[in-house]
Amino acid sequence: MKVALAQFSPHLGVIGKNPEIHFQTIVRARRDKARLVVFPELSLSGYTLMDLVPEAALDPARDPALKKLAAASRAIDIALGFVEEGGRGLFYNSAAYLSAGRIIHIHRKALLPTGGMFEEGKFFAPGKSFRTFASLFGKTGLMVCRDFLNSGSSYALFSGGADVIIVISAAPGRGFAEGAAFASSRMWELMAEAVSFFSTAFVVYCNRVGFEDGKAFAGGSFIFGPSGSRLVKAREMEEELVLADLRLEDIRAVRKNRTFLRENRPEVVLRSLKGIIDAPED
């Protein structure tokens, strides 16, 4: 099945413009025979919202733009990012998966970076779980940016039997590597290589580009296959629609010989973690 990564630069806080970009990109992805199009973190609003978070928040059950995007998912599955109005004055940095005309899963970013150039914990409430859901691609999991840099979140989706792990991101570029690449981009690829290899799942990572509040977002979106090999990578710092074929039969082929999922014992890990959490402080 063909997947499209929509690496672009959202308009910060201009909520009316970003849905139209999504619809235009969906048309292009459908023309290229994609079955899923993935957008970056906070693709409907831009990233550095800060005090604008309440103004950008959308109610998934009522928002007209989300309803129109859900209707578009009758022809192609869609993964996107938005500020979710959670009720009681709480707002979440959320990812939504749309399919068959409705939102079938929402993941709320659980690991909110707050320090240095990041201030998410000041404006967003944290999500509380990582879980898989059924999609065209089998069992699927969603993460938002920093969630992916914690091995526990990937392990939770692995234990949930994930066949595809989708990560939407707004990762800035920092440092310089060979050529025009950012040094920080290698960190995301190393994590994807390890997670795809040991979870024997596809890892689909869509990062944004552009500039906001002095931050340069790196791009470099990619997909890794269940064998741990990279299938495709977008350019850095440029808007691009990148496509790749996900051969779902590759999952079974790899798992025949790589028995990590069959050998997995989440109950042992849970007991160990409880012991760590409940242990008295030194």
| Domains present along the chain, CATH in parentheses | 2-278 (3.60.110.10)
pTM of the model: 0.96
Read off the pLDDT of residues 118-161 as tens digits, 9 standing for 90 and up. 999 999 999 999 999 999 999 999 999 999 999 999 999 999 99
Question: Taking residues 74-98, what's their average pLDDT?
Answer: 96
Read off the pLDDT of residues 154-204 as tens digits, 9 standing for 90 and up. 999 999 999 999 999 999 988 776 655 788 899 999 999 999 999 999 999
Residue 184: the pLDDT is 86
Position 74, amino acid: R
Please give the share of the chain, as a percent, with pLDDT higher than 90. 90
